[in-house]
Amino acid sequence: HLSQSLMPCQVVAKQDLTLLRQQLNESPVQLKNLAKHLRPPTLDTLGLEAAVRQMVAEYRRSCDFDVVLDANEWPELTGDDQTALYRINQESLTNIAKHARPKLVSIRLIQDSRGARLIIRDDGCGFDPSRTKMLNAQVAIRSRPGEGTCIELRGIGTSGEI
């Protein structure tokens, strides 16, 4: 048997290597779970409204397009929904800045009897919306090459039923 012919330090090294392989195999799942639950510190220090307004102000300063935020009534959302809403705004603005080449970006947050609705619209070059993933919300993406993009999320903070 191989482990009987190994020196004690080699046995320990082999056990460590086996454990390391197991941890490496589990890492992608753990990383995905961690990323899903990461909450931007600004949400806790500033709150959702101020954090989104700060993000919009940063994009106004650093990008070659204007960003208009229309959100007079901010919904009461769970921590997970706040994180998702913040990250969706962040990812949308990042993608718009990288790919859309717009002159104007409009972000609207509307609260009504059916829940909160987020609408992000740009007048950039558009894209082919082939994939979307949402948790507990309905998403509508309207985009065509050369015509800009509108992303609308409905039912944020509800069961997704509208």
Residue 162: its pLDDT value, please?
A: 44
How high is the pLDDT of residue 102? 95
**Cα–Cα dist 132/153, whole Å:** 11
Token pair, residue 157, equals 């903070």
Q: How far apart are CA 121 and CA 108, in angstroms?
A: 9
Q: Which mean pLDDT values do the consecutive 10-residue runs of the chain (162 residues) have?
A: 62 75 74 69 91 96 95 86 90 93 94 84 79 59 81 69 46
Helix (H, G, I), strand (E, B) or coil at 111: strand
Q: Which of 62, 64, 40, 63 is nearest to 52 (CA)?
A: 40
**What is the end-to-end Cα distance of the chain in Å, rounded?**
64
**pLDDT (0 to 100) of residue 17:** 78
Q: How far apart are CA 120 and CA 152, in angstroms?
A: 6
Residue pair 107/120 in contact by the 8 Å Cβ criterion: yes
What pLDDT is recorded for position 74?
Answer: 85
